[in-house]
């Protein structure tokens, strides 16, 4: 079983819609959760961090964490074509310092 799992996609949404990206993780000891955005040919860019159960909003982005279900999600409201990218979920590896475990990524395509 993969430690961090994401739907590979591609996920296609129309411009202005809400895009929902999901991630599950296997280690209940993980406490820190991150979403990265990666444009084609570029490096991963940190867009959201979440550490507590519930929702965290930043502009059009909302991260949701449910530790009991071992589930973290990213919602993108009012999706724009510029949001088209691969989104990587990352989870800290417990008791291994700052080491992160990355999911395979979900490719998002926002159609005008």
Binding site for another protein (CB under 8 A): 31-32, 34, 42-46, 49, 51, 88, 90, 92, 97-100, 102-105
Number of neighbouring beta carbons within 10 Å of residue 89: 27
Closest to another protein by CB, 1 vs 43, is: 43
Count of alpha carbons within 13 angstroms of residue 2, beta-carbon side: 14
Closest to another protein by CB, 26 vs 31, is: 31
Question: What is the closest distance, in whole angstroms, from the C-beta atom of residue 15 to another protein in the complex?
Answer: 27
Closest to another protein by CB, 25 vs 103, is: 103
Closest to another protein by CB, 28 vs 42, is: 42
Question: What is the closest distance, in whole angstroms, from the C-beta atom of residue 16 to another protein in the complex?
Answer: 30
Phi/psi of residue 35, nearest 5 degrees: -120, 130
Note the Cα 13 to chain centre separation in Å: 16
d(CA 105, CA 70): 17
């Amino acid at each position: 079983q993969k430690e961090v799992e994401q739907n590979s996609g591609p996920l296609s949404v129309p411009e202005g819609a809400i895009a929902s990206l999901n991630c599950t993780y296997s280690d209940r000891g993980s406490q820190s959760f991150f979403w990265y955005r990666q444009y084609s040919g570029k490096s991963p860019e940190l867009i959201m961090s979440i550490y507590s159960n519930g929702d965290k909003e930043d502009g059009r982005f909302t991260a949701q964490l449910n530790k009991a279900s071992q589930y973290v999600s990213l919602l993108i409201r009012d999706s724009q074509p510029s949001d088209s990218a691969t989104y990587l979920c990352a989870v800290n590896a417990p008791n291994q310092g700052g080491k992160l475990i990355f999911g395979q990524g979900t490719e998002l395509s926002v159609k005008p």
